[in-house]
Amino acid sequence: MTAVQNVLISGAGIAGPALAHWLHRYGIAPTVVERAPAPRSGGYAVDVRGVALDVAERMGVLDGIAEHGTGMASASFVDARGRRIADFTPSQARTASEGRSRELLRGDLVRLLHEPTTAYTEYLYDDTVTALEQAPEGVHVSFAHAAPRMFDLVVGADGLHSTTRALAFGPEGPFRRFLNAYISICTVPNHLGLDREVLLHNLPGRAIALYHTPRAEGAKAMFLVSTRSETGIDRRPAGEQRRFLREAFAGAGWEAGRLLSETGAAPDFYFDSVTQIRARSWSAGRVVLLGDAAHCPSPASGQGSSLALVGAHVLAGELARHDAPAAALAAYEARMRPFVAANQAIADAGLGFLAPRTRTGIAVRNALVRAAPLLSRVGGFDSKLSTAAEALELDAPAPAPG
């Protein structure tokens, strides 16, 4: 019998509900505190790849993931006049041949993971942890709203800007590896009438994309801007962030002007830095980090959701295998570190693919994309991604109690 009987998870994103599933399976009681009033719906498209698909299958959500696919059928780079200059295969279309990547909206994935856990998980919405006090037998937790409680273990699954990490390890600064780019995504009208299609236009170091999936209203606009250093714009008000985007894409051609003006009315304007989290340790006493809070690989890697799913499986398995929490947390970290490192390492190539820094770079990328069948053989981003996504051998699930 494991020494850990009840666990507080901060964050009901991808890692949180996935961990709740596995803890329950091992007879450990999960409580999840989520800052939002409900699991957050909608959002951008994410891929679940490689080993994470095996985890999804073990959780019984793989069919749901396939059924909720974005259905993306084609993707093209376009020039300033909107002419398609190179076609690349979106990940959803690739699944037919490769079978190791599934694309869906983040909100659909969160719902698929969250719904089955509501039968056995205590969810505290609209609340947040405000203080953590470690004791030999557990952690005293204070909340903004709920009464203080003691838990055997606290898991910070509260994302890139984790409050748990700040409380247990200190401010975000030393853990950040800024990848010299900012990203913004929002919903806009589908004025081009796109049908399950991605269009992407580049200026040096910048990308502007528009995509449509039948799983969401309208279309999604995505803006990616490279910079030489941190400007702090990610922490400024949305109005300033929109101005930053307008300046970055001034004279960009294609649909840039229209899309930028539409960000003003978008109900879900998202803006953040493209940042990785690199921490020397993921646990301090009985507080442990999971998913983006521990090791955000950045959207440029496209592997954050997959790392969160796999991490939840590994962490719960080690808690079930070890009596002493410290031994479980050390084993979790030892298992996950190489996998995380492999997936964080591909982010630079991901950025280079999405937004090459020079006009020559854009032309070379387009030429490589046109030669797509050769791409995997010349070590393109896709093949690096597929290799990293498979770089962990899953243990068999630990035996369930009783």
Ligand X SMILES: Cc1cc2nc3c(=O)[nH]c(=O)nc-3n(C[C@H](O)[C@H](O)[C@H](O)COP(=O)(O)OP(=O)(O)OC[C@H]3O[C@@H](n4cnc5c(N)ncnc54)[C@H](O)[C@@H]3O)c2cc1C
**Is the CB of 177 or the CB of 396 nearer to ligand X?**
177
Helical (H) or strand (E) element with 401: none
Q: Which is nearer to ligand X, 149 or 370 (CB)?
A: 149
Ramachandran class of 218: left when φ > 0, alpha when ψ lies in -120 to 50, beta otherwise: left
Closest CB 94 distance from ligand X, rounded Å: 13
The Cα 32–Cα 27 span in angstroms is 16
Phi then psi dihedrals of residue 182, to 5 deg: -120, 150
Helix (H/G/I), strand (E/B), else coil: 174? helix
Contact residues for 296 (Cβ-Cβ < 8 A; gap 6+): 159, 160, 275, 276, 277, 304
118/360 with CB nearer ligand X? 118
Q: How far is the CB of 392 from ligand X (least distance, A)?
A: 14
Closest distance between ligand X and the C-beta of residue 69, in Å?
Answer: 13
Q: What are phi and psi of 52, to 5 degrees?
A: -60, -30
Helix then strand then coil, in percent of the chain rounded to 5, is 40, 25, 35
Q: How far is the CB of 37 from ligand X (least distance, A)?
A: 10
Q: Which is nearer to ligand X, 128 or 376 (CB)?
A: 128
Q: Least distance from C-beta 321 to ligand X, angstroms?
A: 23
Query: Does residue 273 contact residue 226 with C-beta atoms inside 8 Å?
Result: no
Q: How far is the CB of 299 from ligand X (least distance, A)?
A: 4
Gap between the Cα atoms of 104 and 95, Å rounded: 12
- Spatial distance between the Cα atoms of 358 and 85, rounded to a whole number of angstroms: 17
- The least distance separating ligand X from the CB of residue 215, rounded to whole angstroms, comes to 14
Q: Which is nearer to ligand X, 130 or 358 (CB)?
A: 130
Q: How far apart are CA 343 and CA 384, in angstroms?
A: 9
Residue 111, CB-side half-sphere exposure with 13 Å CA sphere: 12
DSSP code, position 63? H
Question: Nearest approach, Cβ of 158 to ligand X (angstroms)?
Answer: 4
Residue 11 vs 205, nearer CB to ligand X:
11
Do the bridges between strand 6-10 and strand 153-156 make them parallel or antiparallel, or are there none, so unpaired? parallel
- Number of C-beta neighbours around residue 250 at 10 A: 11
Cβ 210 vs Cβ 221: under 8 Å: yes
CB of 106 to ligand X, least distance (A): 5
If the CB atoms of residues 138 and 304 are measured against ligand X, the closer one turns out to be: 304
The smaller minimum CB distance to ligand X, of residues 85 and 345, is found at 345
Nearest residue (CB) to ligand X, 95 versus 163 = 163
Residues forming the site for ligand X (CB under 6 A): 10-16, 33-36, 40, 44, 46-47, 106, 128, 157-159, 163, 183, 185, 291-292, 299, 302-306, 308
